[in-house]
Structure 1
Amino acid sequence: MVPGEKRYGGDVAIAGAAPGPGAVQAGAVELLNLPDLGIGILLPELALLVNTRALAYAATHGRVLLPTQPPFVALRFTDRTALAGELLAPGAPDRQLYVLLALFAAAAFDTAAHLHTAAAIRQRHPGLSWIGFPAPDTDGLWRFPDYSYGRRLASEHPLTTPGGHPA
C-alpha cells in the first residue's frame, strides 16, 4: 500500500516501484503481528485470500504467473495496483479487511505506530525520516511554537482555563 524500493537485488515481494522506503521497510509486518492488534494469527489466511484474488485477476486479464512465486507477488506492479483498487473499491467483497491492511501499512510508514515515536526518531525510522518528521525537543516532547501553518489557527476561547481546558 506504500510502495518502496527493493530491500535487496532479488527481492520479488516488493516491486521496487518507488524510490525510498515503503511500508515493509517501515515495519508494516511488525505492526500487523503485534499481539495487541490480534490480527497476526489471521495473516496466513489473509495472504491466501489475496493470492486467490490475484489468481482470479490474472485469469481475467490474461496474465501468466510464475508458479514459483505467490500469485500476488507474481503480478507486475501495475497489476498489483489495479487489483488493490478492485479490493478497496466500495462494495467489493471483503473490502473491510483490505482497508484494515492498507490502514496499518500506512500507519507503519507515516506514524511508526508500532514504536514509541521518540524511539522511532532516534532509530531513524524509514517512514518518519522519509517524510521529514521533526525530532522532539531535548526533553523528548514535541512543541510547535511557530504552529504548523506559520500562524495562529484560532483565537483562544475567552472561557479557557489557565490549564488550557474549556470552561
Structure 2
Amino acid sequence: MTLEAYADTIIPGQKRSPEDRAIAGVSTGGGAVQAGALELLEWDATGIHDGLDDLARLVNEHAEVYAGEQGLTLDPSVPPFVALEYPDRVALILRLTKPGHPEKDFWVMLSLFCNMSFDSAAHLHTAQALADGHPGLAAMGLSHPDADGLWRFKDFGYGRELARLHPDTTSSGSPA
C-alpha cells in the first residue's frame, strides 16, 4: 500500500474505489498504479525488487517525522505515508529527492521506476499493453501495431522521406 501511494504521488490516478487509501484520487484516469508500477518495481530486472520492503519502511519513517514536524495526526489504520494527504505526500517526496538529501539517490530511482511504468510500460509487451488499454501509452497516443504485429508509419517523422529504401530490403524491413 505504501509503494502504491508513492507511485500515485509521482503520477496520480483515479481511485479504484471510494475506500482506496493508497491512491489519493487527485486525477482522473489511470496513473502509475494502474500502469503497473508495483509489477515493474517487483520485476527482478529493475535491480531494486529485493529492497522494496526497506524503501517502504523508510518512507513510512520519514512520513512519521514529517507528520510530527507539521503537527499532523496520522490514521493508525494505514501506513504513515498512506495516511498523509496528497499535498503532504508531494512535500515529503520533494524533501527526499532534494539535492543534498543523504538518501536522494534511492528516492529518485524509485520515482523514475514509477514514472517508467506509466510512460514506457517497460515491464510489459508493448502490443499487449496497448491492447489492454495501458493508461500511459494511451495518454501518449502511441499507435497500435498493424495486424501482423509490426509498426509501420504512413507519415515520415520529419515530414519527408530522409533516404530511399535500399533495393535489397526485405518486406519485413530487414536488410538482405
Instruction: Please say whether Structure 1 and Structure 2 have the same fold, judged by a TM-score greater than 0.5.
Output: yes
Give 1:110's aligned residue. Answer: 119
Report the aligned-residue RMSD: 2.2
Instruction: Say whether residues 1:131 and 2:140 are aligned partners.
Output: yes
Aligned twin of 1:39 = 48
* Mapping 1:1-167, distance limit 5 Å: 1-148=10-157, 151-152=159-160, 162=166
Q: Distance in 1 between matches of 2:136 and 2:73?
A: 34
TM-aligned CA deviation for residue 61 of structure 1: 1.3
Q: Deviations over 1:49-101 (max 9, x none)?
A: 10111111111111111111111001000101111111111121211111111
CA contact (8 A) 1:12 1:73 kept: yes
Poorly superposed stretches of 4+, deviation over 6 Å: none
Q: 1:26 to 1:46 in 2, by over 3 A?
A: same
Kindly indicate which of the two structures has a greater share of residues assigned to helix.
2
| 2:173 corresponds to | none
Please give the alpha-carbon distance, in whole angstroms, between the structure 2 residues aligned to 1:127 and 1:50: 25
What is the distance in 1 between the residues matched to 2:92 and 2:153? Answer: 41
Separation (CA, whole Å) in 2 of partners of 1:66 and 1:72: 10
Q: 1:147 to 1:105 in 2, by over 3 A?
A: farther
Match of 2:5 in 1: none
The unaligned stretches of length 5 or more in structure 2 are 1-9, 170-176
Could you tell me the percent identity over the aligned residues?
49
